[in-house]
């Protein structure tokens, strides 16, 4: 249980506290000195710079011993003499320590070539941070980082900083935006406070910070205490605990609209007021831990109902100032005063704190990360210690002496500030440091284990040059070929020794290749500097003599050296072909196109394999050569064939490596990586999978992965075809790696040379970041203009809440040119993040962007609803499973809206109706005109027919009149005999009858036209009636010599008919038959009874007939068929009309 204090802190307690300090000073001084000279402590330059702290430790040791002796030595003894002697002794110890410190610093210079485990990245005012002093940092539930500075707040997404300035509050005569604390509540709300400021929260719906306002039940006087905020903590109930400078601790509950519902004060009593609160944290047992400046550590048990109260001092360890306070997930409370760090397990039975680390200078924060490492931010840099797991009773034990990080001018990836205010770890295991003058420092706790060797001007001897051409390993030695000779690096002592080099800023031998022969000798080839060899036991390299006077080394560029199974050395040159040497350096042969089957002199790389020598060339691909003890023969050549996709992509080949599965891996310059299956002879190109076109070097690891050096490093798994690309942001020496400068050590370490030294690592220690990025949609641009939350566009608010919370937005036709911004929140190499997106409703396929592209644009999309989805991939190739989604509706233009289409339909219908009306009217007019024309023509035809009719009738009347007038005249003169007179009278009678018929016909025609003709039917014998009519025309038939016959199926047939009209019809038929039947032909009048109901009367002749085309008009009034010239017959043209009328 926590011990409660019975009253104020009196002199006795301060005396006890002073004794504890004396004892601690002695122990801390000893520990500090021990740390410097501990042989297991791997120092770095940052830690040595902090060795001045050890001097302070010695001083404290001296002071502690003096105070301790004064208490222990009896007053009767000569205290002054003893103390003076001790001071003299300590002065000598101090000078001795200074010498030892100098020695340690010089020794450490030998270790500075190897990089630190961590590299720092910085976010400063140069990157857009609001102020150089960052005071607090936190990650929200969406994954965004919030940074509080002395000039407002910045939101960071890995790429861009977004500034927020709080509504200004007047403090005295100045305005304050000096943020001191940022905290996230369980509901995701962000809270902040600072110097001279009240409590604020972030309102996501307006994208602004808002000040909390007192509710009607809040005491105004108590509300005035809510200012000058130094720290915040938020419990699970949503209570915001506010640590202030003068008002103690305030418990605040605020509703969603920012109105304070409850405001209670927890007093931390001091003489005449409250202690200034520096730190707050909450444990799992419902206690609020409070760190005060001058008041030490306090705790407050939170009641179920929020109420005012007073905290209790934690007296188990009385300290004055609490500078750091942190509770880890194992219920360990880590807290610190100005110089020391303490540990307290809150789950144990006894709350007894233990001193864990120190002394440090000016502690500002303390944090234990998720890997068990303790970080202490001070005014003198960042300190790191790693602890083993602790029990409830046993404090954690340091696993090593830790490290101290301080700014280094020569190291751009060192920490950039020595004063750390706050330490925070995000969900991706990045450590964020808020620092004065340095802004934000970021440290990846899971950084790749890439190590470096590079030249340091402060170290001597050091790497002769950072431009590396070759590297090989010889037991504990590394041999490094540079543009300034050879450096031998002892990995145990971490020291250098240089050969063939010149002083700094000068170039010695340009060493292009190194090789260790089977006899232990080291061979070195140079560009235009000759061939060199160092035998075991020799102190330096010896030059190999020129091969001939006309081919000196000074005009020869050596590129590769290899040893064959016959223990001869092969030397490939870039312009002189191939040389063969014995192990002792004697020239055995020189092969070139003039004396051998080699197709070129331009050779780049050699690989000896049993009795095969593989040779890469500059312009002739790869050569497979058969080896003998005294000869070389090209067996096969692999070159580029434009018609064969299984050939080399280009003929410029360089690195060669053979794996354990019988494959030869070939790197080309310009054509990428190739794989040659030695069993089948088939070549496979891998450029589609590995995008690097210039493969400068190749190594194979123990897992069978192919590592490629080019623009960065590539880890290629040929089985899964997965590629991981590493670059300088992952900790490589640079993005430039040089041809052939790669080597695999016996311990599976891969060494890679580049333009800025050597990167080395063990692939087995590389782990993937399996945490996928959090994808967020962050922005919308209309016509390239950013549209924020609450912004008015075209008279309306397009976005009323953050886009990642917006279920649906509408975009008008005038806004149909827009861009969507998004981000993958990870913070580990964000420049290497990649994205893929799709627009469901337009294109269902995923489209992958180039690395770093976070904006896609759309223009003139068809009206409709679309679903935009985007995913992100981290630097290690892990894709987010859940996509960020934005649904939007493209509104059609007004002329394509439903109302517009309804209007169009109405207008179209009206147009159709109008068109129909106009068309009908026009058609009516046309019909009327046409009808008038037809009537006119009919009237004209009728007039002509009438004239023709009356002309013919006149002729018809004239004929019988003439015939009548002749006999009448003879009778009047009395010249004829009786018999002749009778015949003449008969003729007169007949012609008079004919005239009577004509007149009757005209009268009947008139009646028919006027519609007055009526049938007068009577029952009679039709056979007898027809015979009588038949006889009337027999005389005329005889005259025309026509075979004239009457036929009837019955002797009599009684029926109802109109005799007059029947006579007219039959007479017209018989008359027409007689008119158009020549002599010798037949006319028949046939009467038959059909089905006992109908009488069938047929007038049939075998005369001229009627043409088929005129049959349709035989019943037209006054129409006469065309007659042949040999048989002109005239008539009225109305005879057949009766057949149709009657």
Residue 1084 pairs with which residues in a beta bridge? 1045, 1100
Residue 781 pairs with which residues in a beta bridge? 786, 819
pLDDT tier for residue 302 given thresholds of 50, 70 and 90 = very high
- Domain 452-547+557-764: give its CATH architecture: 7 Propeller (2.130)
- Cβ atoms of 664 and 614 within 8 Å: the answer is yes
pLDDT over 70 at 501, yes or no: yes
- Cβ atoms of 599 and 634 within 8 Å: the answer is yes
How high is the pLDDT of residue 10?
A: 37
Beta carbons within 8 Å of 257's beta carbon, 6+ residues apart:
none
How high is the pLDDT of residue 175?
A: 60
- Cβ atoms of 121 and 438 within 8 Å: the answer is no
How high is the pLDDT of residue 972?
A: 63
Lowest mean pLDDT among 288-297, 695-704, 1026-1035, 1103-1112: 1103-1112
pLDDT tier for residue 497 given thresholds of 50, 70 and 90 = very high
Q: Using a pLDDT cut of 90, give the percent of the chain over it.
A: 52
Task: Return the structure tokens found at 118.
Answer: 């961590």
- Which residue, 783, 789, 838, is CA-closest to 809? 789
Q: In this structure, are strands 354-357 and 174-176 parallel, antiparallel, or unpaired?
A: unpaired
pLDDT over 50 at 5, yes or no: no
pLDDT over 60 at 570, yes or no: yes
How high is the pLDDT of residue 1092?
A: 78
pLDDT tier for residue 1034 given thresholds of 50, 70 and 90 = confident
pLDDT tier for residue 981 given thresholds of 50, 70 and 90 = low
Beta carbons within 8 Å of 148's beta carbon, 6+ residues apart:
134, 135, 136, 137, 179, 180, 181, 182, 192, 194, 434
Mean local confidence (pLDDT), 613-632: 94
Mean local confidence (pLDDT), 1035-1050: 87
Q: How many residues does the chain have?
A: 1142
pLDDT in tens, 1127-1141: 555 555 555 655 665
pLDDT over 50 at 111, yes or no: no
DSSP string across 476-539: TEEEEEETTEEEEEETTTTEEEEES--STT-----EEEEEE-TTS-EEEEEBSS-EEEE-TT-S
DSSP string across 1054-1109: EEEE-HHHHHHHHHHHHHHHHHT--TT-EEEEEEEEETTTEEEEEEEE-SS---GG
pLDDT in tens, 1069-1085: 888 888 888 888 999 99
How high is the pLDDT of residue 1002?
A: 64
Round to whole Å and give the CA distance between 637 and 676.
12
Lowest mean pLDDT among 197-206, 217-226, 436-445, 1088-1097: 1088-1097
Q: Is the CA virtual torsion 452, 457, 459, 461 positive or negative? A: positive
List % helix, strand, coil for the chain (3-state, nearest 5). Answer: 25, 35, 40
Q: Domain residues of the chain, as ranges?
A: 11-109, 167-322, 452-547+557-764, 774-894, 897-1011, 1014-1141
pLDDT over 80 at 447, yes or no: yes
How high is the pLDDT of residue 272?
A: 66
What ranges in 974-1021 are assigned the alpha helix state H?
978-1010
Round to whole Å and give the CA distance between 1054 and 167.
127
How high is the pLDDT of residue 814?
A: 87
pLDDT tier for residue 873 given thresholds of 50, 70 and 90 = very high
pLDDT in tens, 165-201: 988 755 554 467 999 999 999 999 999 999 989 999 9
365 phi and psi angles, rounded to 5 deg: -160, 160
How high is the pLDDT of residue 489?
A: 96
pLDDT tier for residue 550 given thresholds of 50, 70 and 90 = confident
How high is the pLDDT of residue 621?
A: 96
pLDDT over 60 at 57, yes or no: no
Q: In this structure, are strands 213-214 and 259-267 parallel, antiparallel, or unpaired?
A: parallel
Lowest mean pLDDT among 192-201, 938-947, 962-971, 1093-1102: 962-971
DSSP string across 407-451: --TT-TTS-S-S-EEEEEE-TTSEEEEEETTTEEEEEETT----E
Residue 22 CA: distances (Å) to CA of 59, 73, 294, 904 = 12, 15, 19, 96
Mean local confidence (pLDDT), 926-930: 89
- Would you say the CATH fold of 452-547+557-764 matches that of 167-322? yes
Lowest mean pLDDT among 433-442, 840-849, 951-960: 951-960
Q: Determine which helix (DSSP H) or strand (DSSP E) holds 952, and give its type and residue range.
A: helix 898-973
pLDDT tier for residue 1122 given thresholds of 50, 70 and 90 = low
Does CATH number 2.60.40.10 belong to domain 1014-1141?
no
In terms of phi and psi (left: phi > 0; alpha: psi -120 to 50; beta: otherwise), the region of 372 is left
pLDDT in tens, 631-672: 899 999 999 999 999 999 999 999 999 999 999 999 999 999
How high is the pLDDT of residue 94?
A: 47
Round to whole Å and give the CA distance between 224 and 768.
52
How high is the pLDDT of residue 1062?
A: 84
pLDDT over 90 at 1113, yes or no: no
**Is this structure's pTM higher than 0.85?**
no
pLDDT over 50 at 471, yes or no: yes
Mean local confidence (pLDDT), 1104-1118: 71
pLDDT in tens, 266-275: 988 876 677 8
How high is the pLDDT of residue 644?
A: 95
How high is the pLDDT of residue 348?
A: 73
Task: Return the structure tokens found at 913.
Answer: 């109706």
How high is the pLDDT of residue 819?
A: 94
Mean local confidence (pLDDT), 337-361: 86
If 0-12 CB within 10 Å is exposed, 13-18 middle and 19+ buried, where does residue 987 land? middle
pLDDT tier for residue 80 given thresholds of 50, 70 and 90 = very low
pLDDT in tens, 120-133: 999 999 999 999 99
pLDDT over 80 at 327, yes or no: yes
Residue 128 CA: distances (Å) to CA of 155, 163, 439, 463 = 11, 9, 10, 37
How high is the pLDDT of residue 317?
A: 74
- Selected residue with higher pLDDT from 902 and 1115: 902
- Which residue, 171, 266, 183, is CA-closest to 228? 171
How high is the pLDDT of residue 108?
A: 43
How high is the pLDDT of residue 26?
A: 44
How high is the pLDDT of residue 23?
A: 41
Task: Return the structure tokens found at 127.
Answer: 């990157």
- Which residue, 692, 702, 766, is CA-closest to 732? 766
Does CATH number 3.40.50.2300 belong to domain 167-322?
no
How high is the pLDDT of residue 1?
A: 38
pLDDT tier for residue 37 given thresholds of 50, 70 and 90 = very low
Round to whole Å and give the CA distance between 862 and 867.
14
How high is the pLDDT of residue 288?
A: 95
- Which residue, 670, 543, 549, is CA-closest to 604? 670
Mean local confidence (pLDDT), 305-321: 85
- The CATH number given to 897-1011 is 1.10.287.130
- Domain 774-894: give its CATH architecture: Sandwich (2.60)
Residue 192 pairs with which residues in a beta bridge? 182, 200
How high is the pLDDT of residue 85?
A: 52
pLDDT in tens, 674-685: 999 999 999 999
How high is the pLDDT of residue 947?
A: 66
pLDDT tier for residue 33 given thresholds of 50, 70 and 90 = very low
How high is the pLDDT of residue 1116?
A: 67
How high is the pLDDT of residue 725?
A: 93
pLDDT over 60 at 1053, yes or no: yes
Beta carbons within 8 Å of 730's beta carbon, 6+ residues apart:
447, 448, 450, 829, 875
How high is the pLDDT of residue 91?
A: 52
Highest mean pLDDT among 73-77, 382-386, 942-946: 382-386
Half-sphere exposure of 883 (CA within 13 A, CB side): 15
308 phi and psi angles, rounded to 5 deg: -70, 155
pLDDT tier for residue 481 given thresholds of 50, 70 and 90 = very high
pLDDT over 80 at 265, yes or no: yes
pLDDT over 60 at 278, yes or no: yes
């Amino acid at each position: 249980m926590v011990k409660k204090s019975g009253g104020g802190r009196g002199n006795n307690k301060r005396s006890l506290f002073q004794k504890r300090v004396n004892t601690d000073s002695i122990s801390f001084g000893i520990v500090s000195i021990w740390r410097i000279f501990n042989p297991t402590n791997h120092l770095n330059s940052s830690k040595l710079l902090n060795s001045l702290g050890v001097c302070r430790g010695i001083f404290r040791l001296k002071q502690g011993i003096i105070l301790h002796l004064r208490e222990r030595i009896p007053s009767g003894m000569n205290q002054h003499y003893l103390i003076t002697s001790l001071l003299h002794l300590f002065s000598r110890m101090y000078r001795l320590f200074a010498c030892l410190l100098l020695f340690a610093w010089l020794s450490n210079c030998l270790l500075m070539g190897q990089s630190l485990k961590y590299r720092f990245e910085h976010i400063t005012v140069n990157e857009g941070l609001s102020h150089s002093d960052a005071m607090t940092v936190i990650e929200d539930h969406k994954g965004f980082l919030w940074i509080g500075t002395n000039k407002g707040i910045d939101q960071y997404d890995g790429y861009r900083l977004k500034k927020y300035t709080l509504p200004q509050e007047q403090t005295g005569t100045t305005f304050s935006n000096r943020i001191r604390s940022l905290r996230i509540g369980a509901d995701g709300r962000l809270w902040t406070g600072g110097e001279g400021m009240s409590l604020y929260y972030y309102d996501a719906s307006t994208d602004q910070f808002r000040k909390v306002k007192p509710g009607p039940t809040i005491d105004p006087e108590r509300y005035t205490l809510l200012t000058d905020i130094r720290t915040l903590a938020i419990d699970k109930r949503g209570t915001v605990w506010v640590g202030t400078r003068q008002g103690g601790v305030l418990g605040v509950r605020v509703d969603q609209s920012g109105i304070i519902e409850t405001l209670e004060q927890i007093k931390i009593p001091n003489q005449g007021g409250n202690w200034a609160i520096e730190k707050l944290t909450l444990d799992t047992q419902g206690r609020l831990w409070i760190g005060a400046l001058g008041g030490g550590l306090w705790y407050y048990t939170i009641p179920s109902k929020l109420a005012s109260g007073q905290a209790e001092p934690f007296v188990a360890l009385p300290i004055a100032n609490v500078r750091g306070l942190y509770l880890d997930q194992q219920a360990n409370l880590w807290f610190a005063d100005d110089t020391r760090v303490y540990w307290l397990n809150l789950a144990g039975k006894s709350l007894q704190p233990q001193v864990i680390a120190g002394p440090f200078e000016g502690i500002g924060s303390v944090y234990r990360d998720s890997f068990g490492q303790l970080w202490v931010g001070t005014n003198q840099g960042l300190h790191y210690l790693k602890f083993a797991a602790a029990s409830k009773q046993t404090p954690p034990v340091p696993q090593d002496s830790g490290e101290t990080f301080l700014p280094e001018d020569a190291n751009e990836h060192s920490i950039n500030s020595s004063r750390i205010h706050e330490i925070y770890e995000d969900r991706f295991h990045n450590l964020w440091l808020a620092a004065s003058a340095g802004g934000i420092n970021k440290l990846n706790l899971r950084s790749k284990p890439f190590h470096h060797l590079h030249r340091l001007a402060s170290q001597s001897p050091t790497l002769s040059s950072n431009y590396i051409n070759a590297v090989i390993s010889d037991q504990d030695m590394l041999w490094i070929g540079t543009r300034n000779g050879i450096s031998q690096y002892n990995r145990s002592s971490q020291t250098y020794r240089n050969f063939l080099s010149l002083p700094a800023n000068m170039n010695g031998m340009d060493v292009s290749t190194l090789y260790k022969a089977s006899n232990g000798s080291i061979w070195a080839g140079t560009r235009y500097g000759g061939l060199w060899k160092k035998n075991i036991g020799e102190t330096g390299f010896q030059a190999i003599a020129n091969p001939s006077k006309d081919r000196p080394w000074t005009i020869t560029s050596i590129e590769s050296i290899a040893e064959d199974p016959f223990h001869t050395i092969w030397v490939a040159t870039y312009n002189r072909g191939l040389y063969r040497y014995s192990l002792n350096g004697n020239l055995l042969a020189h092969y070139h196109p003039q004396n051998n089957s080699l197709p070129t002199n331009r050779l780049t790389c050699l690989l000896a394999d049993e009795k095969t020598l593989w040779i890469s060339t500059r312009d002739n691909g790869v050569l497979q050569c058969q080896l003998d003890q005294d000869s070389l023969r090209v067996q096969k050549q692999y070159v580029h064939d434009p018609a064969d996709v299984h050939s080399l992509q280009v003929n410029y080949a360089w690195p060669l490596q053979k794996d354990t599965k019988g494959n030869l891996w070939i790197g080309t310059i310009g054509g990428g990586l190739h794989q040659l299956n030695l069993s089948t002879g088939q070549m496979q190109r891998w450029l589609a999978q590995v995008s690097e076109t210039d493969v400068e070097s190749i190594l194979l690891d123990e897992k069978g992965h192919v590592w490629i050096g080019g623009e960065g490093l590539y880890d290629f798994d040929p089985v899964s075809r997965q590629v991981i690309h590493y670059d300088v942001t992952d900790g490589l020496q640079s993005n430039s790696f040089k041809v052939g400068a790669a080597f695999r050590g016996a311990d599976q370490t891969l060494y890679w040379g580049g333009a800025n030294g050597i990167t080395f690592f063990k692939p087995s220690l590389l782990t993937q970041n399996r945490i996928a990025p959090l994808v967020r949609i962050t922005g919308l641009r209309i016509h390239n203009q950013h549209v924020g939350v609450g912004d008015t566009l075209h008279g309306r608010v397009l976005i009323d809440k953050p886009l990642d919370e917006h279920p649906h937005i509408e975009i008008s036709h005038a806004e149909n040119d827009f861009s969507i911004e998004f981000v993958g929140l990870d913070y580990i190499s964000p420049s290497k993040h990649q994205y893929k997106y799709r627009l469901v409703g337009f294109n269902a396929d995923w489209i992958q962007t180039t690395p770093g592209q976070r904006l896609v644009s759309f223009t003139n999309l068809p009206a409709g609803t679309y679903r935009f989805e985007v995913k992100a991939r981290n630097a290690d190739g892990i894709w987010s499973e859940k996509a960020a989604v934005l649904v939007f509706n493209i509104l059609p233009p007004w002329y394509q809206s439903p109302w517009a289409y309804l209007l169009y339909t109405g207008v179209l219908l009206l147009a159709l109706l109008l068109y129909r009306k106009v068309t009908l009217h026009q058609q009516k007019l046309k019909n009327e005109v046409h009808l008038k024309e037809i009537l006119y023509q009919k009237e004209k035809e009728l007039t002509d027919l009438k004239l023709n009719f009356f002309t013919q009738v006149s002729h018809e009347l004239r004929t019988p009149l003439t015939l009548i007038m002749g006999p009448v005249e003879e009778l009047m003169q009395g010249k004829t005999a009786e018999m002749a007179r009778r015949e003449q009278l008969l003729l007169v009678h007949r012609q008079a009858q004919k005239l009577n018929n004509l007149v009757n016909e005209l009268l009947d025609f008139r009646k028919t036209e006027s519609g007055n003709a009526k049938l007068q039917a009577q029952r009679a014998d039709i056979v007898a009636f027809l015979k009588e009519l038949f006889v009337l025309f027999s005389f005329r038939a005889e005259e025309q010599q026509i075979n004239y016959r009457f036929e009837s199926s019955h002797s009599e047939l009684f029926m109802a008919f109109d005799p007059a009209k029947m006579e007219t019809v039959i007479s017209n038929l018989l008359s027409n038959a007689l008119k158009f039947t020549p002599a010798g032909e037949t006319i028949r009048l046939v009467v038959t009874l059909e089905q006992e109901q109908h009488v069938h009367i047929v007038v049939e002749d075998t005369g001229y007939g009627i043409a088929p085309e005129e049959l349709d008009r035989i019943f037209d009034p006054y129409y006469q068929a065309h007659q042949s010239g040999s048989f002109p017959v005239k008539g009225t043209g109305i005879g057949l009309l009766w057949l149709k009328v009657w």
